[in-house]
Amino acid sequence: MTGDQEAEARRLDETDPLPAVRERFHVPPAPGGLYEESAYLAGNSLGLQPRAVAARVREELQDWARLGVEGHTQARRPWVDYHELLREPAARLVGALPREVVAMNSLTVNLHLMMATFYRPAGERTRIVIEDSAFPSDSYAVASQAVHHGLDPEQTVVRLRPRPGEEHLRTEDVLDLLERDGHRVAVVLLGGVNYLTGQLMDMQAITKAGRAAGAVVGWDLAHAAGNVPLRLHDWDVDFAAWCTYKYLNSGPGAVAGCFVHERHVRDTSLPRLAGWWGTDPATRFRMEPRISPPASADAWQLSNPPIMALAPVLASLEIFDRYGMDALRARSERLTGYLAARLTGVAEIITPADAAARGCQLSVRVADAAGTVRRLAASYGVIADAREPDVVRLAPVPLYNTFHDCHRVAEALASITG
C-alpha cells in the first residue's frame, strides 16, 4: 500500500497544472540517507532561500565596494529610492494600489506605527479587538498601546474566543460582537490567517462589519501574505502589516511590509510618528525641520531602508509576480487537500476542513509536539515546527513543496504516532 501511495504522489507531481519550482530554492539536505533533500514543511515559520538571492545581495556589496556613498545614486539599483522597486510587486501581492504599500521595518514595529495613527481612544470607543489565540507579539503590542493611552489592558483589549469545544472563531460570532458592541470598539486587529490553527478569516466580511460599526480595521498578515490572495484595497481595509520571512522567503528577520488605504494616505491631518524618510523625497535633502509627508504609505516611513535586507525581498517578489497568487493558491489547495486526506486517521487536524477557510498550513494535535518534531527531522528528514504543548504545524508551500513531500510527512507521522 505504501508503495502505491508513493507512486500516486509522484504521479500527482508529474501531472500537476503548476508543478513546484523547487529548483529555484535551496532545500536543506535530509539526515539519515533515505532522501537527499528534506521534506521542508516549515515555510510558515521561515521560508526557504531563493537561489537568486545570493547574486542580488552580492551585487549590492559590489556596488558598495566600487562606489561607496555614490551608490545612493549610481548603483545598478540606486539606493536612494531602492524601496520603490518593491512597491508595485508588493501591491500586486496584497491587492493594493502602489501608493498604499511600503516595505519598511519589522511587523510589530509597523503595527505600532499604525496604531499610533489609528488607535485614538475617545469616550466609550476605546476597545481593541483581537483573537485570543493571536500571536503573542500582537497581544503585547495592543496591551502596550492601551497602557500608552492610560488605559487598563484588561478592560480595553477584547479577546475573541471560539465557542466551547471548538477550535476556530466563527465569522458570525465576530460580526455579532461588532454589531452589538461596535460602538465601544476603536480598532479591530485580527490575524488574516491564524498562526496556530491555520484558519483563514473572512477578511472582507469582518472589515465591512468593523467599518460599519465605526471602528478602524487592521490586519496582521504575517501568515496570509504570500499564502492566500488578498484584496486589501477593494475590501476597504484601513491598514495592514506583514512580515516577509515566512511565505515570502526573504530571510530571517527580513524587512516587513505595510498597507495604508488611499483615503488615509491623502489625509495630512492624521497623527504619525515621523522620521526623515517619511517626508517628500523631492525635498528630503533640503534638511528642513518641518516634515512634508507624501500622499502615499511612504509617509509612515522613519529611516532610510537597509539595502542589503531589501535585496532578498525584491528577489522573492519577482518569483510571486511570475506565477501569481491565484495560481499558487489553487496549487496550495491541491497540496493541503492531499495531505489532509493522508493524515485522516493518523492525527487530529485542528485546521478547518474547508479549503476555503484555511491557508496552506495544516496543524495537527499530538501528545508531544516538540518530541514529534525532533523525531520527524532526525529519523525521516521531515522539517516541521512545534507549538507547545501539543500542536505540530505542517505547511506544504506551493512554490517548493511537492505531493511527495506530503507523502513523506504522512508516512512519518503514521510511523511515529502509530
pLDDT of amino acid 268: 83
Above 80 in pLDDT, residue 330? yes
Report pLDDT for 417.
Answer: 86
The pLDDT score that the predictor gives to residue 20 is 87
Query: What pLDDT score does 313 carry?
Result: 98
pLDDT at 1: 55
Q: Is residue 223 annotated as involved in ligand binding?
A: yes
pLDDT at position 60, please? 98
- Tell me the pairing of strands 25-26 and 49-50: antiparallel
Binding residue per annotation — 401?
no
271 appears as a binding residue in the annotation:
no
Tens-digit pLDDT profile for residues 230-241: 999 999 999 999
- Between β-strands 216-220 and 391-394, what pairing exists: parallel, antiparallel or unpaired? unpaired
Confidence class for position 347, pLDDT limits 50, 70, 90: very high
Closest CA to 201 of 365, 47, 352: 352
Q: What is the pLDDT of residues 142-196, one digit of tens each?
A: 999 999 999 999 999 999 999 999 999 999 999 999 999 999 999 999 999 999 9
User: Could you give the CA distance from residue 357 to residue 148 in angstroms, rounded to a whole number?
Assistant: 35
405 in a known ligand binding site: no
Q: In what order do the strands lie in the sheet with 391-394?
A: 348-349, 362-365, 391-394, 385-387
pLDDT for the residue numbered 22: 95
The answer for residues whose C-beta is within 8 angstroms of residue 202's C-beta and 6 or more apart is 171
Mean pLDDT of 28-46: 91
Q: What is the pTM of this model?
A: 0.96
Q: Is 354 annotated as a binding residue?
A: no
* 105 known member of a binding site: no
Predicted pLDDT of residue 3: 78
Residue 418 has pLDDT above 80, yes or no: no
Q: Which residues contact 46 (CB under 8 A, 6 or more apart)?
A: 245, 246, 252
Query: Per-residue pLDDT tens for 253-273?
Result: 999 999 999 999 989 889 999
Burial class (CB in 10 A: 0-12, 13-18, 19+), 245: buried
Kindly report, as residue ranges, where domains of CATH 3.90.1150.10 are found in the chain. Answer: 2-37+325-417
Give the up-direction half-sphere exposure of residue 407: CA atoms within 13 A in the CB hemisphere. Answer: 17
Provide the pLDDT for residue 32. Answer: 67
Instruction: Tell whether residue 85 is among the known ligand binding residues.
Output: no
Nearest CA to 322 among 24, 9, 106?
A: 24
Cβ-in-10-Å burial (0-12, 13-18, 19+) of 33 comes to exposed
Cα first-last separation, the chain: 16
DSSP secondary structure code for residue 193 in this structure: B
What would you report as the CA-atom Rg of the chain, rounded to the nearest whole angstrom? 22
pLDDT for residue 403: 98
pLDDT given at position 57: 98
pLDDT tens for 395-407 read 999 999 999 999 9
Q: Is the pLDDT of residue 378 over 60?
A: yes
Determine the pLDDT at residue 37.
95
- Residue-level pLDDT at 107: 98
Which residues, in sequence order, are CB contacts of 167 under 8 Å at separation 6+?
197, 199, 350
Those residues whose C-beta lies under 8 Å from the C-beta of residue 91, and which sit 6 or more positions away, are 97, 98, 100, 101
* pLDDT winner (highest mean) among 31-40, 122-131, 267-276: 122-131
Average pLDDT over residues 320-328: 96
Contacts of residue 42, defined as CB under 8 A and 6 or more positions apart, other chains included, come to: 383, 384, 385, 393, 395
Determine if residue 149 is labeled as part of a ligand binding site: no
235 annotated to a ligand binding site: no
Quick one: cell of 404? 511527495
For residue range 61-110, list pLDDT tens digits in order: 999 999 999 999 999 999 999 999 999 999 999 999 999 999 999 999 99
Cell of 124: 466609550
Q: Which amino acid is at 242?
A: W
- Of the candidate CATH numbers 3.90.1150.10, 3.40.50.11900, 1.20.140.160, 3.40.50.300, the domain formed by 2-37+325-417 belongs to 3.90.1150.10
Average pLDDT over residues 211-225: 98
Three-class SS of residue 127? strand
Average pLDDT of 202-224? 98
Report strand pairing: 127-131 vs 185-191.
parallel
Does the annotation place 137 within a ligand binding site? Answer: yes
Encode burial over 131-158: b for 16+ CB neighbours within 10 A, e otherwise. bebbbeebbebbbebbeeeebeeeebbb
**210 touches 229 (CB < 8 A):** no
Residue 380 has pLDDT above 90, yes or no: yes
**For range 296-318, the mean pLDDT:** 96
What CATH number does domain 58-321 carry, 1.10.20.10, 3.40.640.10, 3.20.20.60, 2.60.40.10?
A: 3.40.640.10
pLDDT at 349 over 80: yes
Q: pLDDT confidence of 137, banded at 50, 70, 90?
A: very high
Residues of the chain with CATH 3.40.640.10: 58-321
Question: Rounded distance, CA 179 to CA 176, Å?
Answer: 5
| Cβ burial 58-71 (10 Å sphere, 16+ → b, else e) | eebeebeeebeeeb
User: Any known ligand binding at 153?
Assistant: no
Q: How far is CA 326 from CA 21, 320, 332, 333, 397, in A?
A: 16, 10, 10, 11, 14
